A and B are shown apart, each in its own frame.
Chain A
Amino acid sequence: MKDTYILAIESSCDETSMSIIKNGTDDVATIILSQMDTHASFGGVVPEIASRMHVESITMVLDDLLTKANMKLDDVDAIAVTYGPGLIGSLLIGLQCAKTLAMITKKPLIPVHHIAGHIYANNLVKRLEFPLLALVVSGGHTELVYMKEDYSFEKIGGTLDDAVGEAYDKVARVIGIPYPGGPNVDKLAHVGKDSYNLPLPLDDDTYNFSFSGLKSAVINLKHNLDQRGEKVIPEDLATSFQNRVVEILTKKTLKAIKEYNIKHLIVAGGVAANKGLRERLEVLSKENDFELIMPPMKYCTDNAAMIGAAGFYAYQKGRIAGLDLNAKATDKLQ
């Protein structure tokens, strides 16, 4: 069978990334230009600055990609692009570039949902097996997704307010930990004690999550201690917070694994890099006999390789967009 090459573009937040993926599984070349250092001085991603940086670097990233892959545009079979969800101004840059390439080359344009990309990041390591459950955890998402086959997504639960990564960043700010908050809280959590009394958030029978209450509990705790003139022990607060987050995430994931009779669990998104979550899931996987699949660190953060992997299966399913494709800040995974 002839090989299929997908050129993929991802610009949904603060990474300008492009990739060429062969047959949905092989990463021929990937370029990731991160803006993290710029946004760090503002304490978080500034959408307008992110958009400005994307437009300045977009053709350089394309040039680097074709050079690294040693390929020409004519060699690719289709153009895949993250159309959403994400920062609208950022998405638009990758989208316009992809649409222009599709117009010029007359190749199919494949719209890829950002979360589908995060799930398919794992396909670059090992071919996905179905049915599977995906726990998607990042700065913008906290979702449990059931897949009975390739490119079929059923969301069975998700956050009702803050995404888990967002809660990490906010708690980091309360404790006074520098940006990026998530990874830094995770590090601290490994040296602290679970000594603070924090609630287990939305501990109910649904597959939904809620982190704003837990975040408020952290803020109140800090406030009360401050008023009494007591000092917060940052590492202990990090540990207490992280333990509650990991407990509720794994509890609901395990419940879904049992109810849906799942043998393969995928963890995807930036928070998949969280050591506390990884360690707990590894234990549960052994105890409950399911396969745990987590992307290597390089595929946890936003990248176009995962969009190219997902794009291959979207292409096989005939999901092709017209040149009037638009970006969407929010959109259901389907």
Chain B
Amino acid sequence: MISLFVDTSYKSLFIALFEDKKLIDQIQIMSEFNFSETLIPKLNELLDNNHIDSKDISKIFVVVGPGSFTGIRIGLTACKTLAYVHNIPIIPLSSLEFMATTKVDTKYIIPLIDARHDMVFGGIYNIKGNKVVNDSYCSIDSLIEKVDDSYTFISFDKSLNDNIVIPNYDVSKIVLNHYDDAPVNCHAIKPNYLKQTEAEEKLNG
């Protein structure tokens, strides 16, 4: 059984193929602005290189946020379309949890994405990759208050803190942790922005 993994939610484009629970190939590209251009050619390349037709995919794992609003939508739109055409179930994943697959030697991992105005999208995970504190739109200080032991910040945004470790993804770890999650229908799956638009914030006071 073939599974596809897609993440375009922030500064890295990461796609991978699994046969049952075994990683068979992956492509990662670092770039901020052109995932719209590169995602489909790279996906096509990944499938071709492994002699896999899109209709052979039986499960899709897609990162639905938080992160760049546009980036999230690029990967999700492609996955939704693919899932619709071939009737493939989708399993939504967290970008922060994916970052937390990075190997560290502390008890906790705090993945961060710069959300501007001194705020971040952040969460707290243990080294097994399990969630300790839910992903949220918050300040870094409010996260630190919630940990009782050693921790490592994982982020692409080095300016957030002096002690930042760049994500070094382990895609097998997150896929295996969610392999048997209940799937979501292609029409129903939604991005997880963790933040309203400014227009909505103003309107809702």
Contacts and interface: CB of A to CB of B under 8 A. Distances in A.
Contacts of A13: none
B147 to A, nearest CB: 33
B190 A56 contact: yes
Interface stretch (A87-95, A113-121, A302-310): A87-95
A324 B84 contact: no
A326 interface: yes
B178 to A, nearest CB: 21
A55 B55 CA distance: 22
B78 to A, nearest CB: 5
B70 interface: yes
Contacts of A59: 80-81, 83-84, 186-187
B70 A92 contact: yes
Contacts of B38: 324
Contacts of A70: none
A326 B199 contact: no
Contacts of B200: 49
Interface in A43-74: 46, 48-49, 51-52, 54-56, 58-60, 62-63, 73
B37 A58 contact: no
Contacts of A135: none
A58 B80 contact: yes
Interface in A122-150: none
A35 interface: no
Given A49-B197, A89-B70, A62 B191 contact: no
Nearest to B86: A104
A41 interface: yes
Interface centre among B43, B74, B84 (most CB of A within 10 A): B84
Interface residues of B, number: 35
Contacts of B43: 103
A84 to B, nearest CB: 12
A288 interface: no
Interface string B69-113: 110011011101111111000000000000000000000000000
A96 interface: yes
Interface string B151-171: 000000000000000000000
B31 interface: no
A308 to B, nearest CB: 18
Interface string B20-40: 000000000000001011111
Interface of A: 41-42, 46, 48-49, 51-52, 54-56, 58-60, 62-63, 73, 88-89, 92-93, 95-97, 99-104, 322-327
Interface of B: 34, 36-41, 43-44, 54-55, 69-70, 73-74, 76-78, 80-86, 186-187, 190-191, 193, 197-200, 203
